[in-house]
Structure 1
Amino acid sequence: MLELDLDMEADLGIDTVKQAELFAAIREHYTIPRNDSVSLKDYPTIRHCIKFVTDQKSAAAPAAAPAAKTRARQPELLDLTAAPQEAPAEKPAPKAAPKQEYPKRHIRHVPTIILAPVEQEVIKKLAPKRPVAIFAEDLDLAKAFRAELNKHRADSYIFTPAKTKLKDAITVDFRDVPALEKTLADFAAAHPDTQGIVYLPGCMVKSLSAETAAFEDLKRYALPLFLAAKYLSGGLNQAEAGHTTFMAVVTTLDGGFGYKTKDAYDPIYGAIHGPTLCLRKELEKSAVKLLDFEPSSSNQVIVQKTFYEILYSDKRLAIGYADGKRWTMVGKPVALDKSRRTTELEGKNVLITGAGRGLGAMFARMLAEQHKANILILDMMEISDKAKRLTGMSEAELKAYKMGELWNELKASADKATPATLEKEFTRLKDAADMHRNMEAMRALGVKVHYYRCDLMNPAAFKTAMDNIKADFGAIDGLVHFAGMERSKLAVDKTVEEFNLIFTVKADSAINLWKSGIVKEKGFWAMASSIAGKFGNLGQTDYAAANDYVAKFCVSQTNRGVRAVSIDMTGYAQIGMGARPGVEAFLKSQEMEFLYPEEGMQAFLDEIAYGKVPEIILSGSLGKLDWDKQLLYEPNFSASASSGYHFAPRLEDLLKGESLAASKEFSLESDPYLTDHSINGTPYVPGVMGLETFAEAAAVVTGAPPKALVNVRFAVPIKLLRNKPAEVKIKAFTLANGGGVEMRLESDFVSPKGLRLGQTRTHFKAVAASDAPSAWTPAMRPVLPKVKKYKADLATIYKTYFHGPSFQVLDGIISVDKTSVLAVFKRPAAPLWKGTQQKLVFHPLVFEALFQACGWRDIQFDRSMALPDAVGAAIAYDHEPVDPETLFLYGVFKGRTDDNRSLYDAWAFDADFNLAAELRDYAMIPTPI
């Protein structure tokens, strides 16, 4: 038996649609006439329904009063068991809105660090005696910059929280915002001709941890930058003839704006980077530079490179220095691999902030429709009875209600009624009505929908909401963070309070959600972010700070082994900023392409379901807003997520002629030949399959397989421990000045809990080259016997070697002495794959035969089993997919290296001495087996 006082929705899971159907069935069964004044909210329990029947049948009892709730709820949480005033069972379930048509184009880009050599130097000079403001916590670094400024006869003032007796040092606690603001206002009044800002608080090492506090960190590390621009921009916008003004913002994250490191760094770097990108567009007359260095960089390097960027380099804004090279960030078009889902969503409990209206509401609806996830909405709207009334009104009825009943209510209130207050109140009610309607539509799809009313800025309300969600669901499966605000104003016009508000709603709340423990350890995080945090936008310093903060939060979470993704979106047509006439006209004049809401939300949803990267950019052309051409927009980009090659199958990032990131899973199912390359029962990926992988990867990047692979290193073996699949990442990028394509096979160790541990391991590496010199000369040709007579035949060889049938590539050894070995390759009868054979481009079995032939000499004369360690050059003289039936193999022993590796040159050729493959400086290392 069910208890009569259980709440039908909260306790029994009977949503309002089902309640309406139940009520209709009760009326029909007991022949109770329809009464349009009856509201479901008055009958939340079974006992209330029983009383409804008895009251109606007796026709004498007064209407039933609402019962008290059986379970304590957060004070501001609305009773969502209530239906609109008119909720007949006969009313059909809400239909999905018709899908909007939009042009098919590629909008998905991945932030990527690429080499950025200086294109054209622009020589600039500083004005003597005009002051420069240095902001720093590290006094040694500040003094190093001052020393360099002295060489240019520029005065400098150091703003620092440190106590110091340095000349012209101004001590102020950056976290004391009123004091800092007054100090800067006074300084600006005394020095209206300030010509430069050097901003150094980001030169620190800070990790993401339980102590991370977004707003407190903002005050210390980022807000001083905003205030410096607010009060000192007057001087920066007054460049003297022949001289420059400048702003240099320097951080020491990783030399690549957080995209190179695997550490879980603090997102506060984003609150420094984002505003700088915007300030560049507000300080058009200044040389603005955002520079990121490796944490290990010396003060001398930081100072020298910074002044080079200010006074000599090109106009590019964002520059990183790492590994002795100059880098920048671009957004590269990358296809999403939808062949395998990475995040299961069906039946999962997903919390969506800001899902009451706009894009958040559309996303929630699409998530429910396409993946049948349960939707938990966190928003601050009140769904009142008055708002619910609007759900059943037509457009004409809404207009009449607004201009009649609502307007009269406002005029009768104590406050003065104006058209502005009318519009505000009507919008509030209409948004709440739309939200309620959207929730009912999702419930009609058969998923659970729950609403938790909460102001993210209210700590008490936030805690109550989190406690209630945990009480209802425990930890949830995923979180999508749409909540945010935007109010565009130039830095000189924006107040600290406005900056803090915009940052807190988006960024501080994201950290609070993380620290609340609301998401399961293996759950996912998705952040709705903006391109303002990637490319900057006029008047959006605060918005960019918040959005790059959450983007870097996702990168850090990914580095911790947590699935997290930031979706950095451009402007949308007919929604948000794109709906404001003035803003829309301006953006169109800048040739910026808008996204369509369904287009963007579908890409957002697909990224959660199928993606792996921690951040993507969704954008059409940015037009004139992309000053440095950072978005590599290709509307017709159609790179398949599959390369068509077996050893570089899944493309994650490809820029033809430039770079590649792909992945390959080695398993006994996809690569059955591994069974024949096992040592002590453990399958090892053969080094020659590493060569094949590199050749295929280079072919994807350049369009054709390379003739040679040089500087090959087999550093760490790839093993299938306990026969479990091993996934490796394939990284490739072109070297400057035609130096070839540098490639690596990498992997991360991931714990059973999904945590990435230790540093990324580089297994194999090589450089693909279009050519390589041969060491083969007629004088080196061995004498070939007229009749093949073997000193060791196949059966003898593979009693010693561990290789199985598909890797038994030596037919026999013709001769072997201390200086050389002559052998015969024979294509194995046993295939590498079952059924259809893969198309290969670099003759891995021929190179395997050369490896084994050289190794046989080591066994015979050095009594050691050796495995491949390095190759100076591996040269393939054709790229035919099928190996010749037989070849001669000749290896010349060149001695031993200082570290006891045996060194060889070796060749594979036919009876006419036509080369098929060549090894130069092939090194083997003795290995106990």
Structure 2
Amino acid sequence: MVAEVEADGQEAAVTALRDTLLLAGSVQPLLERSAADGGRAAFLTVTRLDGRMGMTGAAGVERAVLGGVPGLVKTLAIEAPSLLCRAVDLDPDLPADRCAELLLAEAHDACAGTVQVGLAADGARRTLDLAETPGDLPGEPGAPEPGPQDLLVVTGGARGVTAACAVGLARAHRPGLLLLGRTELADEPGWAEGVPESGLRAAAAAELKRTGHKPTPREVGRIARDLAGQREIRRTLAELEEAGARAEYAAVDITDPEAVARVLAPYADRVTGVVHGAGVLADTLITAKRGEDVDRVLHTKLTGLRHVLEALPAGRLRHLLLFSSVAGFFGNRGQSDYAMANEALNQLACALRRETPRARITSVNWGAWAGGMVTPELERMFAERGVPLIPLEEGVRYFTEQFGAEHGGDTVCVVGPVTPLSAPEPAGFPAGGVELHRSLEPLAGDPVLADHAIGGHPVLPATAALGAVLNAVHQVLPGTPVGRVTGFAVHKGLVLDDDRPAGLRLAVRPACTPGAWDVAIHDSEGRPRYRARAVAGAPAPAPALADLPAPGTGRPVTAYTDGTLFHGPRLRGLTEVLDDGQRLVLACRLPERPIADGAWQAPGYSPVQTDLLLQAVLVWARLHRGQAVLPSAIGEVLRHAELPGGQTFLVVVDGVAETAGGIRCTVTACTPQGRVLLECRGVEAVHAPGLEAKFRPTSG
């Protein structure tokens, strides 16, 4: 497959990037099938910028955005390692017949690992690499360092990493700063004053109830996020003023040209620089990308920058620093659109430097920042792969140094690890994933499930669905240890009555992060039931729990007979209440009992034993809220050791917080001595009207 990418003008170039990505997603499965049959399958893109991958800037600003195409190709090489993936940039002076010869040679190149080449009219073939000092790039040492006489516009600069960089710049050079962001800044409502950020969700839910509105999780989350964002903006402005800089904030959508022009109009004649840090993510594999999500990623980075620059007088700009990413320089799984956008920023920097050689214009390809968009899950994954993260203070120092005289000649640079953030999927696993089928027939009449009946109807335990996730990964990738599961959610519980579906479909697909697999479970009629992400590798060791009461010092559990729990005899493993304060501690002991044919468990994992952790959540809710609840989600499951069937262990419920519909908490299983066996973090349990009546005591 050869895709020529051409466009006139920046707007058309952004559209061309989007269309090329969607094309790649549509042909990738076909090419992979061809490769699986033993032939060479290739995906080549062709641009005609300068024959040097756009690095001379000769293509001009209007066409430089096309230089983002290699970001897609590098990412495709990671997501589809069976394909030859290559981005070829041809010199515009090459004749058509010579171009055809060169492309055929690239498609048959024995060195399949090269993903980006430039072919010049003089016969030179170039690839891209890193050097310690600036190479032969356009321009000359840039403008003087910024100072109090300068006014810099900072997009995305009021929150997060970019805000920290703005504060560092203020401390080092004290320029005026105009921060642009999407969050509207308003006076904080009285009900939120003095409430810590950890309590905003509960306070928002209470306020919605007080004013007669339904506190849905979506609305509660939106209000809490907005308030937290506004607080962060105010903190940033206060830090900037404390650093001695004149700072203002304006809320604007930089993808709206009229809004940008209106906001910048009062400042335009004073602006001497721009720091472009705005960006959004919409991570998913190339084959699953949606056009609207790709547009959002590309337009924020590329169209947003164009709108800001067009709103400022030509010729005044002395400083332009673009926040690019190693995701573009190396490619990154799940971030093909983000990689394209950041690669395009690199080419724009080259073209703009060529047009305005005396300005300081730099595109910084940042590695992953600790505490930036990196979640704890990603942080652990990077640590396992030996990829260092950029500490916040160190990154801010790098940022401020870019405005120093010694970096005036930098046009494109990489700060952080000089290795890709992700690696290709292990050979043999189809990029499109694998689908397994589970019959529900073996569950009919299963004695364990008969003891998991709500309102007289057997229901598949959430822990059995979690077991199906682990079992599916074990079947598809035998020998792969899954120590963590994240994002487990119950879309719709499975009632095992006469109207049950015939079976379940379990789709196992590689996730955006290496060493992780997304598992989506639908019933045979196509309705979503459960989902989760399984992550390979052992979790970080957990410290032992302290100050635990000893088994034999508490009181017997009555929850199975007083309407707190609905579980029948085969699932009644909670034996003793050792502490019923805000931290609930229960002793457990239950013989191991497999469910049906074993398809609901995995090596080292028992859904029956794990169900005791969720039973403990129901006990806490009845003790402290007087409510019956059911588990709906688990943020993270950490598997340290197998739960011991037939032996005593403890279950601890703590860290409980109220949510709009119930509670969120952490549940830990440990030995009586405190050694952690299993952790369930972010367990969400919800209340529904009439649930108490269905939790009636059962005999036995």
Letter in 2 for 1:218: V
Q: Where does residue 253 of structure 1 map in the other structure?
A: 49
Asked whether the equivalents of residues 75 and 331 of structure 2 are also in contact (C-alpha less than 8 Å), the reply is yes
- How far apart, CA to CA, are the structure 2 residues paired with 1:413 and 1:297? 70
Letter in 1 for 2:155: T
Q: Where does residue 493 of structure 1 map in the other structure?
A: 288
Q: Where does residue 331 of structure 1 map in the other structure?
A: 130
Alpha-carbon distance, 1:543 to partner:
0.8
Equivalent in 363, 379, 386 of residue 188 of structure 2? 386
Q: 1:291 to 1:404 in 2, by over 3 A?
A: closer
Q: 1:285 to 1:404 in 2, by over 3 A?
A: closer
Q: Where does residue 152 of structure 2 map in the other structure?
A: 350
Q: Where does residue 574 of structure 1 map in the other structure?
A: 371
Asked whether the equivalents of residues 356 and 432 of structure 1 are also in contact (C-alpha less than 8 Å), the reply is no
Q: Where does residue 706 of structure 1 map in the other structure?
A: none
Counterpart secondary structure, 1:367? helix
Q: Where does residue 2 of structure 2 map in the other structure?
A: 198
Asked whether the equivalents of residues 200 and 251 of structure 1 are also in contact (C-alpha less than 8 Å), the reply is yes
Kindly report which structure 2 residues correspond to 1:798-837, keeping only aligned pairs within 5 A, or say none.
none
Q: Where does residue 594 of structure 1 map in the other structure?
A: 389
- How far apart, CA to CA, are the structure 1 residues paired with 2:381 and 2:243? 40
User: 1:372 aligned to 2:168?
Assistant: no
Alpha-carbon distance, 1:240 to partner:
4.3
- How far apart, CA to CA, are the structure 1 residues paired with 2:279 and 2:260? 15
Structure 1 stretches of 5 or more lacking a match?
A: 1-196, 207-211, 628-929
- How far apart, CA to CA, are the structure 2 residues paired with 1:416 and 1:607? 50
- How far apart, CA to CA, are the structure 2 residues paired with 1:299 and 1:389? 69
Equivalent in 422, 430, 434 of residue 220 of structure 2? 422
Asked whether the equivalents of residues 201 and 251 of structure 1 are also in contact (C-alpha less than 8 Å), the reply is yes
Q: Where does residue 94 of structure 2 map in the other structure?
A: 297
Percent identity between the two aligned chains: 20
- How far apart, CA to CA, are the structure 1 residues paired with 2:142 and 2:66? 33
Q: Where does residue 251 of structure 2 map in the other structure?
A: 453
Alpha-carbon displacement from aligned partner over 1:774-833 (angstroms, at most 9, x marks no partner): xxxxxxxxxxxxxxxxxxxxxxxxxxxxxxxxxxxxxxxxxxxxxxxxxxxxxxxxxxxx
Q: 1:381 to 1:399 in 2, by over 3 A?
A: closer
User: 1:320 aligned to 2:122?
Assistant: no
Letter in 2 for 1:451: Y
Letter in 1 for 2:132: P
Which is higher, the Rg of structure 1 or of structure 2?
Answer: 1
Equivalent in 237, 240, 245 of residue 439 of structure 1? 237
Q: Where does residue 40 of structure 2 map in the other structure?
A: 244
Letter in 2 for 1:457: T
Alpha-carbon displacement from aligned partner over 1:59-80 (angstroms, at most 9, x marks no partner): xxxxxxxxxxxxxxxxxxxxxx
Letter in 2 for 1:590: R
Q: 1:613 to 1:245 in 2, by over 3 A?
A: same
Q: 1:389 to 1:298 in 2, by over 3 A?
A: farther
Counterpart secondary structure, 1:256? coil
Asked whether the equivalents of residues 475 and 518 of structure 1 are also in contact (C-alpha less than 8 Å), the reply is no
Letter in 2 for 1:417: P
Q: Where does residue 528 of structure 1 map in the other structure?
A: 323
Kindly report which structure 2 residues correspond to 1:719-734, keeping only aligned pairs within 5 A, or say none.
none
Q: Where does residue 537 of structure 1 map in the other structure?
A: 332
Equivalent in 70, 73, 97 of residue 276 of structure 1? 73
Alpha-carbon distance, 1:626 to partner:
7.0
User: 1:232 aligned to 2:36?
Assistant: no
Alpha-carbon distance, 1:415 to partner:
5.3
TM-score normalised according to structure 1 size: 0.42
Q: Where does residue 347 of structure 2 map in the other structure?
A: 552
Asked whether the equivalents of residues 270 and 548 of structure 1 are also in contact (C-alpha less than 8 Å), the reply is yes
Letter in 1 for 2:323: A
Alpha-carbon distance, 1:516 to partner:
1.7
Q: 1:399 to 1:352 in 2, by over 3 A?
A: closer
Alpha-carbon displacement from aligned partner over 1:822-852 (angstroms, at most 9, x marks no partner): xxxxxxxxxxxxxxxxxxxxxxxxxxxxxxx
What RMSD, in angstroms, separates the aligned Cα atoms of the two structures?
Answer: 2.7
Asked whether the equivalents of residues 50 and 58 of structure 2 are also in contact (C-alpha less than 8 Å), the reply is no
Alpha-carbon distance, 1:362 to partner:
0.6
Q: 1:403 to 1:260 in 2, by over 3 A?
A: closer
- How far apart, CA to CA, are the structure 1 residues paired with 2:100 and 2:41? 17
Alpha-carbon distance, 1:389 to partner:
9.1
Kindly report which structure 2 residues correspond to 1:501-520, keeping only aligned pairs within 5 A, or say none.
501-518=296-313, 520=315
- How far apart, CA to CA, are the structure 2 residues paired with 1:367 and 1:270? 30
Kindly report which structure 2 residues correspond to 1:89-108, keeping only aligned pairs within 5 A, or say none.
none
Alpha-carbon distance, 1:288 to partner:
0.9
- How far apart, CA to CA, are the structure 2 residues paired with 1:222 and 1:624? 22
Q: Where does residue 756 of structure 1 map in the other structure?
A: none
Counterpart secondary structure, 2:254? coil
Q: 1:590 to 1:342 in 2, by over 3 A?
A: same
Relative contact order higher in (CA < 8 Å, ≥ 6 apart): 2
Asked whether the equivalents of residues 475 and 519 of structure 1 are also in contact (C-alpha less than 8 Å), the reply is no
Letter in 2 for 1:369: R
- How far apart, CA to CA, are the structure 2 residues paired with 1:279 and 1:424? 34
Counterpart secondary structure, 1:498? helix
Counterpart secondary structure, 2:5? strand
TM-score normalised according to structure 2 size: 0.55
Counterpart secondary structure, 1:452? strand
Counterpart secondary structure, 1:330? coil
- How far apart, CA to CA, are the structure 1 residues paired with 2:418 and 2:386? 8
- How far apart, CA to CA, are the structure 2 residues paired with 1:280 and 1:424? 37
Alpha-carbon distance, 1:418 to partner:
4.0
Alpha-carbon distance, 1:617 to partner:
0.9
- How far apart, CA to CA, are the structure 1 residues paired with 2:212 and 2:364? 45
Q: Where does residue 39 of structure 1 map in the other structure?
A: none
Counterpart secondary structure, 1:442? helix
Asked whether the equivalents of residues 73 and 115 of structure 2 are also in contact (C-alpha less than 8 Å), the reply is no
- How far apart, CA to CA, are the structure 2 residues paired with 1:350 and 1:306? 44
Letter in 1 for 2:242: A
Alpha-carbon displacement from aligned partner over 1:411-455 (angstroms, at most 9, x marks no partner): 345654245543442232122112112212322333211122211
Asked whether the equivalents of residues 382 and 453 of structure 1 are also in contact (C-alpha less than 8 Å), the reply is yes
Asked whether the equivalents of residues 567 and 618 of structure 1 are also in contact (C-alpha less than 8 Å), the reply is yes
Asked whether the equivalents of residues 2 and 43 of structure 2 are also in contact (C-alpha less than 8 Å), the reply is yes
- How far apart, CA to CA, are the structure 1 residues paired with 2:142 and 2:3? 45
- How far apart, CA to CA, are the structure 2 residues paired with 1:388 and 1:503? 39
Alpha-carbon distance, 1:345 to partner:
2.7
Alpha-carbon displacement from aligned partner over 1:207-260 (angstroms, at most 9, x marks no partner): xxxxx333x3222x3233112112111111112443111101112212211124
- How far apart, CA to CA, are the structure 2 residues paired with 1:369 and 1:519? 28
Counterpart secondary structure, 2:295? helix
- How far apart, CA to CA, are the structure 2 residues paired with 1:402 and 1:343? 42
Alpha-carbon displacement from aligned partner over 1:720-773 (angstroms, at most 9, x marks no partner): xxxxxxxxxxxxxxxxxxxxxxxxxxxxxxxxxxxxxxxxxxxxxxxxxxxxxx
Alpha-carbon distance, 1:282 to partner:
2.1
Alpha-carbon distance, 1:328 to partner:
0.5
Q: Where does residue 77 of structure 1 map in the other structure?
A: none
